[in-house]
Amino acid sequence: MGEVRELDERRILAAVDHTLLRPTATWEEIRQICDDGVAYGCASVCIPPSYVKQASEYLAGKLPVCTVIGFPNGYSTTAVKVFEAQDAMANGASEIDLVVNLGWVKDGRWSDVLAELRAVKEACGEHILKVIVETCQLTQEEKEKLCELVTESGADFIKTSTGFSSGGATAEDVALLRAHVGAQVQVKAAGGITSLEDAQTFLDLGAARLGTSRIVALVKG
């Protein structure tokens, strides 16, 4: 059993965007996240935009740097989001996690939502764009519509949650997103992933990435 668990841990860690987005995060904490991300074979580190340049220089290509834009509320203007993405990439980010405009979603302004996603994806170019849809704030119909728009936009991932709202990833939402996005779009589960068992469940349901601050600590013991 021990060998099977080790294999599962490697699979889980390889999908982890090792995350620290707390507003009071210090460079020393970010540096530790970077060190652990490399040591434990994570997919990336996901950190605040203001630390991207320092972390990118520190990591020197050993691990991709991911950051967040329009975070956590999503109601920045499209121009601001585009600039944030361009600035982050200029500073060394290779992955961008964008929060969708939830007000526009609630207004049914689908063409505006799609135009914004396309604008940010165009700015990202070959860099990975993940669209955070904040599933805990959405109806079933809104989730399905956003799967359609994220697919149409050319974004690379749809992501469940910021981790800063009223709820995080659920098994039901991960399965729903996987079922409704296009085959070329991957799913990232994030927010409230507190156990290796949860992480394994999300991967088994079709998630390709896990946004979490806890999994590495659990493996470290």
Catalytic residue list: 97, 159, 188
pLDDT, tens digit, for every residue of 78-112? 999 999 999 999 999 999 999 999 999 999 999 99
Q: Which CATH number fits domain 2-220: 1.10.10.10, 3.40.50.720, 3.20.20.70, 3.40.50.300?
A: 3.20.20.70
What sign for the dihedral angle of Cα 83, 88, 92, 95? negative
What are the residue boundaries of the structural domains of the chain, listed by start? 2-220
For 41-57, b/e burial (b = at least 16 CB within 10 A) is ebbbbbbbbebbbbbbe
203 vs 189: CA distance, rounded Å: 9
134 vs 59: CA distance, rounded Å: 30
Average pLDDT over residues 67-72: 98
pLDDT, tens digit, for every residue of 159-179? 999 999 999 999 999 999 999
Closest CA to 160 of 129, 137, 126: 137
**Predicted local confidence at residue 221, as pLDDT:** 85
DSSP assignment string, 43-100? SEEEE-GGGHHHHHHHHTTSS-EEEEESTTT--S-HHHHHHHHHHHHHTT--EEEEE-
Question: What single letter denotes the amino acid at residue 11?
Answer: R
Written as six digits, the tokens of 216 are 């590495």
Closest CA to 36 of 51, 50, 55: 55
Cα-based angle 136, 50, 83 (whole degrees, multiple of 5) = 75
Return mean pLDDT, the chain. Answer: 96
3 state DSSP class of 108: coil
